[in-house]
């Protein structure tokens, strides 16, 4: 059984690369998770998980993370990624992620709407939303990445 994460932060970054994979890697590095091994998880923030914006994760760690990402090689295309954490104080939270060929504002609107719907479906009161997002205009090959890393 895996332990329940106790801390989290939200992050978003974009980068260019010579390939899609190196653009993705560059975005991960800028988002402070590039030297970890990502374990993609779905959408629940554990109860009692504390927001720690300056959290440093040791290199090589297996890192549970909910994320959205998009890569593009279409010059001058606008790409964006966003994550939102919906919080119910004293309970668990919900994480939503989105990426697309759209503005940062559109990505933020979409993840906010998804968090609100997730709380409505669960019949829970939403106390707070935290959002991280990024927008990037493609020069060559680019990646936009937004994530909620969870830590112990």
**Is residue 41 left, alpha or beta, with left meaning phi > 0 and alpha meaning psi from -120 to 50?**
beta
**42 noted as active-site residue:** yes
Residue of 97, 108, 110, 135 marked active site: 97
Q: Given the residues 20, 43, 103, 106, select the one marked as catalytic.
A: 43
Burial 38-70 (b: 16+ CB within 10 A, else e): beebebebeeebeeeeeeebeeebebbbbbbbb
Determine contact, residues 104/82, Cβ cutoff 8 Å.
yes
Catalytic (active site) residue 140: no
97 catalytic per annotation = yes
Number of H-type helices and E-type strands within the chain: 2, 10
Q: Which of these is catalytic: 37, 73, 91, 140?
A: 37
Please list the alpha-helical segments (H only) found in the chain: 20-30, 104-121
Close Cβ partners of 43 (under 8 Å, ≥ 6 residues apart)? 66, 94, 95, 96, 97, 118
Residues labelled as active-site residues: 37, 42-43, 97
């Amino acid at each position: 059984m895996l332990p329940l994460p106790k801390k989290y932060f939200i992050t978003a970054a974009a980068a260019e690369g010579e390939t899609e994979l190196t653009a993705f890697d560059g975005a991960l590095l800028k988002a402070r998770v590039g030297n970890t091994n990502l374990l993609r998880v779905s959408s629940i923030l554990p109860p009692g998980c504390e927001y720690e914006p300056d959290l440093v994760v040791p290199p090589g760690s297996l890192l549970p993370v909910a994320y959205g990402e998009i890569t593009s090689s279409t010059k001058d295309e606008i790409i964006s990624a966003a994550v939102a954490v919906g919080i119910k104080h004293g309970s668990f939270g919900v994480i939503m992620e989105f990426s697309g060929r759209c503005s940062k504002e559109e990505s933020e609107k979409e993840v906010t709407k998804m968090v609100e719907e997730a709380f409505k479906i669960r019949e829970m009161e939403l106390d707070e939303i935290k959002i991280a997002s990024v927008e990037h205009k493609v020069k060559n090959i680019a990646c936009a990445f937004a994530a909620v890393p969870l830590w112990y």
